[in-house]
């Protein structure tokens, strides 16, 4: 009885393995960016995901079927490339599927938020098709990746992005609030983005001594800067910006909203760029 049971289990596993191999063979890999880097095992993982997850735009079938039937479809190809990147990062089929679900909710969320600039200053063009708001802290490890990435994307995608930053200091970060006050004080002297870039360049080891040096290097009035950091208006602005994020359901930093859609994906340069390009496809109806 035990031997028969083991044989049955082995047969099931063999069939599952053969199915994965067959599925991998059915994927038109030449249309999937990055697939040439995959091992056969990794291809089988990606094929499993693409065969089980439906494409959420441009085609209503599974991603795998959409790649075959609509090879010009942008979304299916984009999602397949995303799955490739995730498997290359060491993720299994379940983890990749979970990442795809987060991505879907980022592109087509149940709710789109209306956000206004408030006192914030924009980077990039004033009226771009993609407006990004980032609520962040200056010592958050993910913010240290996301904000410099967004600043880089402004230059890489001219005319595409309007970027706004909102302070969201985290209590557990000793310099979180002091650095937020430094940014607001710098804004009062027309050095908002310059100070922003310097603060992230030194993250997460910023000190008051560093801030003093930044004030000097940017040619600011040190006395006014110090007074503005302590001003009630400064604290009110920071509080207002943080409360905006809290009211929209932020549970951690950074909180990134792309055209009012909360972005739940990876905060790296490549993934943020991919999501922004996807947003352009949605806007233009070319997904």
Listed by start position, the domains of the chain span 19-107, 122-284
Q: Are 48 and 41 in contact (CB under 8 A)?
A: no
pLDDT for the residue 121: 87
- Asked if the model's pLDDT at residue 8 lies above 90, the reply is no
Neighbours of 268 (CB within 10 A): 14
Band of pLDDT at residue 17, cut at 50, 70 and 90? very low
pLDDT at 14: 35
Q: Are 192 and 183 in contact (CB under 8 A)?
A: yes
Residue 89: per-residue pLDDT: 97
Q: Which 8-state DSSP code applies to residue 53? A: S
pLDDT score, position 67: 95
For residue 16, pLDDT over 80 is answered with no
19-42: average pLDDT: 80
Structure tokens at 226: 């110090």
pLDDT tens, position by position, 228-284: 999 999 999 999 999 999 999 998 899 999 999 999 999 999 999 999 999 999 999
Confidence of residue 11 (pLDDT cuts 50, 70, 90): very low
* Cis check: omega of the bond before 204, within 30 degrees of 0: yes
pLDDT in tens, 182-195: 999 999 999 999 99
CA proximity to 174, closest of 123, 121, 138: 138
Classify burial at 267, counting beta carbons within 10 Å of its beta carbon; exposed 0-12, middle 13-18, buried 19 or more: buried
- pLDDT band of 2, cuts 50, 70, 90: very low
**pLDDT at res. 26:** 82
3-state secondary structure of 257: strand
Contacts of 11 by beta carbon, 8 Å cutoff, 6+ apart: none
The pLDDT value recorded for residue 9 is 37
pLDDT in tens, 48-85: 999 999 999 999 999 999 999 987 789 999 999 999 99
Task: Report helix angle 222-230 to 176-187, nearest 10.
Answer: 120
Q: How far apart are CA 83 and CA 48, in angstroms?
A: 10
Q: What is the pLDDT of residue 70?
A: 84
pLDDT at 23 over 60: no
| φ, ψ of residue 151 in degrees (nearest 5) | -65, -40
The per-residue pLDDT for 24 is 54
pLDDT digits (tens, 9 = 90+) for 132-168: 999 999 999 999 999 999 999 999 999 999 999 999 9
Whose tokens are 């010009």? That residue is 72
CATH number of 122-284: 3.40.30.10
- Chain-centroid distance of CA 207 in Å reads 28
pTM assigned to the model: 0.89
């Amino acid at each position: 009885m035990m031997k028969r049971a083991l044989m049955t289990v082995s047969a099931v596993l063999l069939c599952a393995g053969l199915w994965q191999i067959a599925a991998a063979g059915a994927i038109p890999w030449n249309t999937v960016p990055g697939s040439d880097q995959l091992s056969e095992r990794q291809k089988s993982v990606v094929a499993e995901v693409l065969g089980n997850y439906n494409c959420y735009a441009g085609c209503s079938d599974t991603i795998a079927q959409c790649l075959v039937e609509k090879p010009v479809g942008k979304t299916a190809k984009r999602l397949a490339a995303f799955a490739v990147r995730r498997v290359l990062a060491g993720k299994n089929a379940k983890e990749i599927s979970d990442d795809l679900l987060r991505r879907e909710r980022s592109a087509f969320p149940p709710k789109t938020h209306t956000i206004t600039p408030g006192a914030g200053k924009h980077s990039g063009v004033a009226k771009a098709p993609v407006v990004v708001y980032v609520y962040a802290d200056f010592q958050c490890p993910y913010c240290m990746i996301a904000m410099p990435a967004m600043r880089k994307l402004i230059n890489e995608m001219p005319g595409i992005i309007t970027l706004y930053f909102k302070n969201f200091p985290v209590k557990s970060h000793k310099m979180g609030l002091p650095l937020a006050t430094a940014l607001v004080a710098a804004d009062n002297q027309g050095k908002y983005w310059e100070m922003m870039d310097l603060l992230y360049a030194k993250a997460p080891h910023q000190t008051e001594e560093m801030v003093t040096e930044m004030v000097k290097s940017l040619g600011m009035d040190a006395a006014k800067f110090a007074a503005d950091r302590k001003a009630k208006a400064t604290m009110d602005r920071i509080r207002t910006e943080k409360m905006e994020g809290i009211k929209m359901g932020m549970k951690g930093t950074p909180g990134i909203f792309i055209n009012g859609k909360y972005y739940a994906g990876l905060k790296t340069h490549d993934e943020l760029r991919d999501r922004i390009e996807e947003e352009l496809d949605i806007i233009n109806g070319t997904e």
